[in-house]
Amino acid sequence: MADPQEESKPLLSRVRGGSGRDRPEGAPACRSVQVGPGTTARRDLCLDQAVVFIEDAIQYRSINHRMDASSLWLYRWYYSSLCQWILSFTIFLILFLAFIETPSSLTSTADVRYRPVPWEPPCGLTEGLEALCLLVFAADVSVKSYLVGWAQFRKNPWLLAYLVVLVVSLMDWIVSLSLVCHEPLRVRRPLRPFFLMQNSSMMKKTLKCIRRSLPEMASVGLLLAIHLCLFTMFGMLLFTSEKDAGQDKERLTYFRNLPEALTSLLVLLTTANNPDVMIPAYSKNRAYAIFFVAFTLIGSLFLMNLLTAIIYNQFRGYLMKSLQTSLLRRRLGTRAAYKVLSVTAAGEAHPEGVGVKPQDFLHVLQKVQLDSDHKQAIMEKVRSHGGDLLSADEFQELFDEFDKRVIKEPPPRPEYRSPFLRSAQFVFSHRYFNYLGNFMALGNLVTICAFLVLDADVPPEDRDDFVLGILNFVFILYYLLELLLKVLALGLRGYLAHPSNVFDGLLTVVLLVLEISTLAVYRFPHPGWKPEMLGLLSLWDMTRLVNMLLVFRFLRIIPSMKLMAVVASTIMDLIKNMRAFGGILVVVYYVFAIVGISLFRGVVVAPGNSSLAPANGSAPCGSFEQLEYWANNFDDFAVVEGLFRAVVAGVVCHLGQPVSGSDSGELPSQVGPPQSPAVPHGGLGGHLSDDGGALVQGCPGGAHGGGADGETEPSPAPAAVQVTSWCALPAGARCGLGTDTDHGRRRVVAPKRFFPLDRTTGRA
Amino acid sequence: MADPQEESKPLLSRVRGGSGRDRPEGAPACRSVQVGPGTTARRDLCLDQAVVFIEDAIQYRSINHRMDASSLWLYRWYYSSLCQWILSFTIFLILFLAFIETPSSLTSTADVRYRPVPWEPPCGLTEGLEALCLLVFAADVSVKSYLVGWAQFRKNPWLLAYLVVLVVSLMDWIVSLSLVCHEPLRVRRPLRPFFLMQNSSMMKKTLKCIRRSLPEMASVGLLLAIHLCLFTMFGMLLFTSEKDAGQDKERLTYFRNLPEALTSLLVLLTTANNPDVMIPAYSKNRAYAIFFVAFTLIGSLFLMNLLTAIIYNQFRGYLMKSLQTSLLRRRLGTRAAYKVLSVTAAGEAHPEGVGVKPQDFLHVLQKVQLDSDHKQAIMEKVRSHGGDLLSADEFQELFDEFDKRVIKEPPPRPEYRSPFLRSAQFVFSHRYFNYLGNFMALGNLVTICAFLVLDADVPPEDRDDFVLGILNFVFILYYLLELLLKVLALGLRGYLAHPSNVFDGLLTVVLLVLEISTLAVYRFPHPGWKPEMLGLLSLWDMTRLVNMLLVFRFLRIIPSMKLMAVVASTIMDLIKNMRAFGGILVVVYYVFAIVGISLFRGVVVAPGNSSLAPANGSAPCGSFEQLEYWANNFDDFAVVEGLFRAVVAGVVCHLGQPVSGSDSGELPSQVGPPQSPAVPHGGLGGHLSDDGGALVQGCPGGAHGGGADGETEPSPAPAAVQVTSWCALPAGARCGLGTDTDHGRRRVVAPKRFFPLDRTTGRA
């Protein structure tokens, strides 16, 4: 994230760009309004700028980009959903290529004993796709760089790295093609996840946070290393004697030499070989257990938790800080839009002074990309305001609507004339009808489970699915009936307005299709009816699997239970927080897999030609052969996943927790006015000068500008801090981050937590 | 923890004790001072009461106990270190009995194949010890109950439970003795950990917190259960076919019937059987991996983290709340002491009004049990104050000294006359001499490790320890020399003032003793010198083991590194937080072990009489016999530990983290003025009336009393909240915990975080 001072300067600023290169031509147009032929064009530009500023505010984007007419068009086009969707799809495509490229993962099994020769994509196929993707990325990076301007581009490490990665990928691609796809090493493949990271701001933040906590993690790592080495030496000293059988067995098995002893204890740290490693010595004398207990207690329980505690603290602080930066961005965007709009209004003679004309704002809002519910809510609020100019305060308040959840009215039910239909409508839209449906679904589940348990001890070839087939048929008929009756009662639009109904309806349709095909293939159930196996699953098994999804009908009850509501809200926060972390994990996994493939491909070879079922019993216990780990190899991309999961599970068990435990949810959920920790409640009383450039120039000096703003206030009491400069937010933010300005000291907000102080108590 | 209202009423209060039973005779003595023969006695009682109140404040104890002269004596005697030490030792003893009692753990091995018949303690030995312990507990519970009074006793569930457990234990003990120690069931043994819990306030708090988060944990548990059942059913549906070899193998191994499938997936949730469980199906078709990946992702990563997040939030809130309660207790104790002392001063005519005479306070402080450093610091502060009466503010401020760390001046170095000795003193007290010592220790460690690594591949009987023996001898001589030179330079007292020197000195002495005995037993090292094995370790090995402790010399460098300092402080917090949690774990383990022994004792039997080394190869892989888990059984107390560790490791990995991650350290470390979250900085400007009873009666109404206190303030501006009632703390605390009083609303501290607001800014 850039410095707030930097962020607050869009490229229309006059102070910026001592070199003429950065100053777009159209920039000064919106600064002074003259009556003349260019007025309409200038007004339009101002409105367009306002639209972009508001969109920036909504999306928490920096307003630091070019603001001339053509750049604005390019900017809006770049952030349109189509462009962003194309970009996302390209990223998905280039990552997905790993499954198809040599060594392709398109075999049904990964077991080296049974695997057929995988399909080789012809040279040029994946390379062609890749070239397309790289072209899209090249366009992306050039548009982005143009929009932020050369000065910003130079200072943005992500954009620079983007360019470098792109150039390296292109060069590697050319080498690859010139060697007709027989190059020994593909540099560009492990670089691909960078495109994913570059495109997600949350992932960038998480990565920065991880990077910042690296020193602390390294020091705990050092402690762990000391702990491990110390105990390795202790262990090797303990298990050296030749007379004691238990000691000698322990030594030969786990402490034979330094690398082996280190490995044994490292694995013990993950508790994977927990009792085994101490059994030989422990069998001999129980006092040896003290060594292992001490090691586990200090290592697994104490040092690992220490690691978690440290990472947790780092993450919490950092997420809070990034929350502030995002709020600052929203403030900047809103204020800039206000400034630009009030310039347009200033041309006309208004008695009330400076402000935004509601019709201007409505006009701008029409153009803003925003979901219709929120747009509607804000428009209504503006209309209710009447024809007066909107002050900066009121303007800012309008944007609080973004964080409120809009509750949609369900569409009206169909009106029936016939009393029979009316009563049917009442019955089938009643919640007891829902309960009946849930009850039927429960019955369906219970029958499936009961038959599963009953059939468990019967060999598959002797099973008789007649009764279950009939029951299933009946249940699916009931679901169909339920669907139709609900549509009758609520109308099709009313039915689809509830997501739960959509889920039920989809499930019913899928079940119906499966049931009809089952009937078509195996005919109607009769005694001794037993659907045959086709492929992995018979149609019949599939029906039963889909039936299990009925469980989700019951999960809907959860949020209505009070206790479960707490849990459910925690789940939602968790999902939001884990998303960025999950992205980082995907990146790590991807690189791990690609590097693993290039290093270890073909290391695992099939066991001789003797037979496909080797004499398993001859292999020693715990060996690769005995455990039949043939499918765990690095021979193609999809297979590494199985290996990796074992590693990840342990890591995430520790690392995932800081994220989950963190109480600072992602931004949108916490920005709402009641909880917002960084927004001073005093409001934006101060008005800045009319100059659009000055607006953003004034900000960096906001620490002092706050005092100067007091002149527009009726009672200029020196200690009455009712007037909070709009620019005080960045000042306060910086103050909280270390620097202690005069302004920050006078406002007595505890500087590390950003409290909404009610300033009215402070008045004389 | 009792209600703050309840806590604030010591038994000297008049309002309390409508029944005459509760009112001690001496209580009213301290309320009004009359000139007469009883004055000196009353004054002494007041001073004694002050001593007890101050001790209560220091130890965060409730002041809610009897205050007459004899009770005060009993109270101080009960909380004397000797009594508390006896109590702790008794608790240790009764818990330790489990190792000696039948089935005793006094065999060297737990392996059923080699274990001799354990020693049977004669009937009456452990029972006698137990009777002693129970008598101590009986005395403890009666003293405690007497001190808090009947009304409190009735309402205190811990004391009631203490009594019940004691009675049950005594009855069981009588039954046991009357059956000559052949009773089938010992009820009192699983009850023993209660005595440990009852005696630790932190453990009681942690337990209460665990109990409070049970509902949320149960709901996550329900989600986990649903998840598990759903996937079990899915799995059983997936792996049913008879044709597919992979599917069938998977079915036969892991999904044969409902209990087996549930177990397989439950174990997969702990990732213990992670790749194995999916290998048969995955070998056949990689698509099956999706099932297992989905299960692990949802279960291990998502739901387990959810559990952590919820427990974490519960713990944090609760620890914060208990922090407030403890601070309240300290405030109450200090204020009560102030009140009692100011009553003694009020008798004499003082022009300044109400306050505490410094000489009274010094007199009281002499009697208070407190470490001498803090006592010294407070006394100096009082003396520097002069002869004026101490106001409530100043009195309270004195107690901030408790939380400051006192830095001791090192004792003066010996003064030598000879210039040679002076220069020697300079050289050997220089830090470079320390570095040289560390360097030598490092060299010692390196030689030991080098020889260990070199000798790893040599069979133990061929090893030659000649060089290492000589080197070790040289190093130990150096340590001895270092010790002597340092004592010369710093003087013996100066040397022992540093804990690091104490450690070094002890280590040197131990090494010296070991080396001398080694030399005495094996004579001086010569080529081919190889110390023999005696018992578990040869003296020689022991010397090397002790040498490894030299590593701790290097750990001292850690706090001087900046990054490591953060880590080290986190470690200290962690230890404090984990202590109570560790106590709970010990309790759980103890009960688990005792119950396990009574249930499963003798279930594991030795494998036939064939041979002590059975044909291991014939057992299937992964079975009890193949893994030689003979030592893992429930046959005596010490052995269950090995089993239990495996269980605990997983649990603590998840449950331990909320405690470790919590940023609310235990009380003493966080009470210091700069961080103290609950103490309003405004000070204790208001003076309450002189009545000792009213002092504590006034508190519950503190929400309004705060305003009334303003009358003693020179400028009674209504909104100037400079004056903070002392009673505002409980009011604010309660406000933060949910109730919203007028007072709490006017003071605009964000009620959930307790910020030290600087009120001076709020003045006109």
**What length is written for chain A?**
764
A727 is written with which tokens? 């620019």
Question: A541–B237: do the CB atoms touch at under 8 Å?
Answer: yes
For residues A422 and A116, the model is more confident at: A422
Q: Report if pTM > 0.90.
A: no
Q: Which residues contact B471 (CB under 8 A, 6 or more apart)?
A: B444, B447
One-letter amino acid at B589 equals Y
A336 with A63: CB under 8 angstroms? yes
Q: Which residues pair with B469 in a beta bridge?
A: none
Residue of chain A whose Cα is closest to the Cα of B283: A111
Asked if the ipTM is above 0.95, the reply is: no
Helices (H), B537-602: 539-548, 551-555, 562-600
Residue of chain A whose Cα is closest to the Cα of B109: A285
Cβ-based burial of A398 (10 A; exposed 0-12, middle 13-18, buried ≥19): buried
Question: A574–B305: do the CB atoms touch at under 8 Å?
Answer: yes
Residues of B in contact with A628 (CB under 8 A): 279-280, 283
To the nearest whole angstrom, how far is the Cα of B745 from the nearest Cα of chain A? Answer: 11
Residue A237 CA to residue A286 CA, distance in Å, equals 17
Mean pLDDT of A153-169: 91
Backbone torsions φ then ψ of A266, nearest 5 degrees: -65, -40
Cβ-based burial of B760 (10 A; exposed 0-12, middle 13-18, buried ≥19): exposed
- Helix, strand counts (H, E) of chain A: 32, 0
Cβ-based burial of A77 (10 A; exposed 0-12, middle 13-18, buried ≥19): exposed
Residues of A in contact with B107 (CB under 8 A): 286
Compute chain B's Rg from CA coordinates.
33
Closest CB to A631 among B114, B283, B639: B283
Q: Which of B57-71, B342-356, B612-626 has maximum average pLDDT?
A: B57-71
Residue A132 CA to residue A148 CA, distance in Å, equals 25
Question: A761–B755: do the CB atoms touch at under 8 Å?
Answer: no
Confidence at residue B83, expressed as pLDDT on a 0 to 100 scale: 92
Closest CB to A563 among B216, B234, B631: B216
Residues of A in contact with B305 (CB under 8 A): 574, 578, 656-657, 660
Tell the residue number behind the tokens 């360019």, with chain if given: A163
pLDDT tier at B2 (50, 70, 90 boundaries)?
Answer: very low
Of B734, B688, B667, residue with least CA distance to B395:
B688
Collapse the DSSP code of B493 into the 3-class scheme (helix H, G, I; strand E, B; otherwise coil) and give the result: helix
Question: B233–A555: do the CB atoms touch at under 8 Å?
Answer: no
One-letter amino acid at A343 equals V
To the nearest whole angstrom, how far is the Cα of B251 from the nearest Cα of chain A? Answer: 10
Residue B39 CA to residue B45 CA, distance in Å, equals 10
To the nearest 10°, report the CA torsion of A309, A311, A315, A317.
Answer: 60
Mean pLDDT of B230-250: 73
Asked if the peptide bond before residue A658 counts as cis, ω within 30 degrees of 0, the response is no
Note the maximum CA span of chain A: 106
Collapse the DSSP code of A754 into the 3-class scheme (helix H, G, I; strand E, B; otherwise coil) and give the result: coil
Crossing angle of helices B274-284 and B258-269, rounded to 10°? 120
Mean pLDDT of B632-642: 58
Residues of A in contact with B534 (CB under 8 A): none
Collapse the DSSP code of B356 into the 3-class scheme (helix H, G, I; strand E, B; otherwise coil) and give the result: strand
Residues of A in contact with B560 (CB under 8 A): none
Confidence at residue B682, expressed as pLDDT on a 0 to 100 scale: 32
For residues A519 and A677, the model is more confident at: A519
Region of residue A491 (phi > 0: left; psi between -120 and 50: alpha; otherwise: beta): left
Residues of B in contact with A313 (CB under 8 A): 570, 661, 663
Residues of B in contact with A236 (CB under 8 A): 452, 456
Burial of B475-489, coded b for 16+ CB within 10 Å and e otherwise, reads bbebbeebbebbbbb
Residue of chain A whose Cα is closest to the Cα of B616: A621
The mean-pLDDT minimum among A108-112, A395-399, B545-549 falls in A108-112
Q: How far from A549 is each of A503, A509, B380, CA to CA, in Å?
A: 10, 13, 75
The mean-pLDDT minimum among B226-230, B265-269, B301-305, B457-461 falls in B457-461
Closest CB to B621 among A293, A551, A621: A621
For B194, half-sphere exposure in the C-beta direction (CA atoms, 13 angstrom radius) is 20
Residue A403 CA to residue A401 CA, distance in Å, equals 5
Of B742, B672, B737, residue with least CA distance to B702:
B742
pLDDT tier at B608 (50, 70, 90 boundaries)?
Answer: low
A465 with B237: CB under 8 angstroms? no
Residues of B in contact with A304 (CB under 8 A): 653
Collapse the DSSP code of A356 into the 3-class scheme (helix H, G, I; strand E, B; otherwise coil) and give the result: strand
Cα-based angle A20, A22, A26 (whole degrees, multiple of 5): 90
* Best to test chain A binding among B262, B537, B567, B721 (most A CBs inside 10 Å): B567
Closest CB to A279 among B241, B449, B631: B631
Q: How far from B650 is each of A29, A484, B304, B659, CA to CA, in Å?
A: 66, 50, 11, 15
To the nearest whole angstrom, how far is the Cα of B607 from the nearest Cα of chain A? Answer: 15
Q: Which H, E and C letters describe B239-277, residue by residue?
A: CCCCCCHHHHHHHHHHCCCHHHHHHHHHHHHCCCCHHHH
DSSP readout, B618-684? GSPTTSHHHHTGGG-SSSSTTTHHHHHHHHHHHHHHHHHHHHHH-S---HHHH-STTT-SSS-TT--
Confidence at residue B697, expressed as pLDDT on a 0 to 100 scale: 32
Residues of A in contact with B632 (CB under 8 A): 275, 279
Tell the residue number behind the tokens 């405004």, with chain if given: B682
Q: Which H, E and C letters describe A169-206, residue by residue?
A: HHHHHHHHHHCCCCCCCCCHHHHCHHHHHHCCHHHHHH
A334 with A316: CB under 8 angstroms? no
How confident is the prediction for chain B on average, in pLDDT? 70
- pLDDT tens-place string over residues B137-176: 999 999 999 998 888 888 888 999 999 999 999 999 998 8
Distance from the first to the final alpha carbon of chain A? 41
B313 is written with which tokens? 């939030």
Q: Which of A208-222, A661-675, B202-216, B477-491 has maximum average pLDDT?
A: B477-491
A633 is written with which tokens? 């190899």
pLDDT for residue A446 is more than 90? no
How confident is the prediction for chain A on average, in pLDDT? 70
Closest CB to B657 among A230, A657, A761: A657
B413 is written with which tokens? 């170095």
Q: Which H, E and C letters describe A428-443, residue by residue?
A: HHCHHHHHHHHHHHHH
Confidence at residue B672, expressed as pLDDT on a 0 to 100 scale: 32
Residue A283 CA to residue A364 CA, distance in Å, equals 80
Backbone torsions φ then ψ of B390, nearest 5 degrees: -85, 130
B463 is written with which tokens? 């090893």
Tell the residue number behind the tokens 């889920």, with chain if given: A503
Compute chain A's Rg from CA coordinates.
33
Residue A343 CA to residue A350 CA, distance in Å, equals 12
Question: B233–A448: do the CB atoms touch at under 8 Å?
Answer: yes
To the nearest whole angstrom, how far is the Cα of B529 from the nearest Cα of chain A? Answer: 15
Q: How far from B208 is each of A334, A349, B197, B315, B653, CA to CA, in Å?
A: 48, 69, 11, 10, 21
Question: B109–A284: do the CB atoms touch at under 8 Å?
Answer: yes
Asked if the peptide bond before residue B103 counts as cis, ω within 30 degrees of 0, the response is yes
The mean-pLDDT minimum among B223-227, B238-242, B401-405, B631-635 falls in B631-635
Of all helices (H) and strands (E), which one includes residue A222? helix A214-238
Closest CB to A563 among B219, B308, B748: B219
| CA B724 centroid distance within chain | 35
To the nearest whole angstrom, how far is the Cα of B727 from the nearest Cα of chain A? Answer: 21
Residue B680 CA to residue B684 CA, distance in Å, equals 9
Q: How far from A444 is each of A440, A475, A544, B556, CA to CA, in Å?
A: 6, 7, 10, 67
Backbone torsions φ then ψ of A619, nearest 5 degrees: -75, 145
Question: A279–B110: do the CB atoms touch at under 8 Å?
Answer: no
Closest CB to B571 among A306, A455, A750: A306
To the nearest whole angstrom, how far is the Cα of A9 from the nearest Cα of chain B? Answer: 33
Confidence at residue A160, expressed as pLDDT on a 0 to 100 scale: 92
For residues B749 and A335, the model is more confident at: A335
Residue A202 CA to residue B311 CA, distance in Å, equals 26
Of A98, A63, A588, A61, residue with least CA distance to A337:
A63
Question: A310–B632: do the CB atoms touch at under 8 Å?
Answer: no
Mean pLDDT of A493-509: 84
B559 is written with which tokens? 């706090």
Number of residue pairs across A and B with CB atoms under 8 Å?
337
Collapse the DSSP code of B280 into the 3-class scheme (helix H, G, I; strand E, B; otherwise coil) and give the result: helix
pLDDT for residue A136 is more than 80? yes
- pLDDT tens-place string over residues B316-326: 777 778 778 88
Question: A628–B279: do the CB atoms touch at under 8 Å?
Answer: yes
* Best to test chain B binding among A291, A293, A452 (most B CBs inside 10 Å): A452
